[in-house]
Amino acid sequence: MSPVLRVCGLYPDLMNIYADRGNLILLQRRCEWRGIGFEFSRCGLGDRLDPSAADLLYIGGGQDRDQALVAEDLVANKRGAVHEAAGSGVVLLAVCGGYQLLGESYALGERTLPGVGLVDLRTVRGTGPRLIGNCVIEADLGGGPRQIAGFENHGGRTHLGPGATALGRVIKGHGNNGEDRLEGVCKGNVFGTYLHGPLLPKNAWLADVLIELALDVELDPLDDTLEQLAHQTALRAAGV
Ligand code: GLN
């Protein structure tokens, strides 16, 4: 029987800016082009998350206001299931606002939003300007160092704790906090990043890594002429 990638979008209506939905479309297409099935489910405010019902969990970016709604619900209703899923090897991709909520907390002035505590990181709203622009990082997800290109726009500054490993090193742009040149987080099959773009259409190779991890398969290559052009264009936009 051919495999099926089961993707669950966490709060897809609230956590979805800068075309983050394109990440899901790309995952779907790259599965379908290879004869791999694709199933998408949504898990929103108040919904129960079944930790064994998806191979890949996805949460996109969001405004502070939407993040506040999501943070309360995530911690109150889904924390245990998110930990259970991650502990059993389910892939989790979190972008920007979603990434911030993977950590301990997101402090916004007077208010502190709780995170699910899946990775050792904290985010604080900086007093400086938002960190905006095209960004390129170098990451090694097993096959040697490769570049990931995207667009970042965040007021929050994320600081990794001693228990966390960055997804990559910043080549161009700001990254986690504009200071330490680190970007994102990576822990087992959990990936967090500030890069929108959307991320996966600009880095199709990364989508394939995630699908391989989620299904524990080795994928056949596709004709990626257009995808490579998109990747090169995103690198050039950042000045790389
Ligand atoms: N609201 C968060 C911040 O400004 C995340 C923004 C985003 O997802 N682009 O830091």
Residues identified as active-site:
96, 196
174: which 2 tokens? 């700001």
Residue 238 to residue 122: CA distance in whole angstroms = 27
Residue 70 to residue 132: CA distance in whole angstroms = 23
Helix (H, G, I), strand (E, B) or coil at 211: helix
What distance in angstroms lies between residue 60's CA and the mean position of ligand 1's atoms?
A: 10
What distance in angstroms lies between residue 154's CA and the mean position of ligand 1's atoms?
A: 4
DSSP letter at 78 equals I
- Give the ligand 1 atom nearest the CA of 15: 8
pLDDT at 214: 98
| Res. 130: pLDDT tops 80 | yes
pLDDT tens digits along 142-160: 989 999 999 999 999 999 9
pLDDT at 7: 98
Q: pLDDT band for position 18 (50/70/90)? A: confident
Helix (H, G, I), strand (E, B) or coil at 173: coil
Residue 37 to residue 48: CA distance in whole angstroms = 24
Average pLDDT over residues 178-206: 97
| Res. 197: pLDDT tops 70 | yes
Pocket of ligand 1 (CB under 6 A): 17, 61-64, 67, 96-97, 153-156
- The range of the structural domain enclosing residue 84 comes to 4-237
Give the neighbor-by-neighbor strand order of the sheet with 182-183.
145-154, 131-140, 168-172, 182-183
Query: What is the CATH classification number for the domain harbouring 8?
Result: 3.40.50.880
Instruction: Give me the number of domains the chain comprises.
Output: 1
Q: pLDDT band for position 83 (50/70/90)? A: very high
- Give the ligand 1 atom nearest the CA of 61: 8
Q: What are phi and psi of 158, to 5 degrees?
A: -105, 135
213: which 2 tokens? 């991890």
Hey, CA dihedral for 124, 164, 210, 92, is it positive or negative? negative
What distance in angstroms lies between residue 17's CA and the mean position of ligand 1's atoms?
A: 9
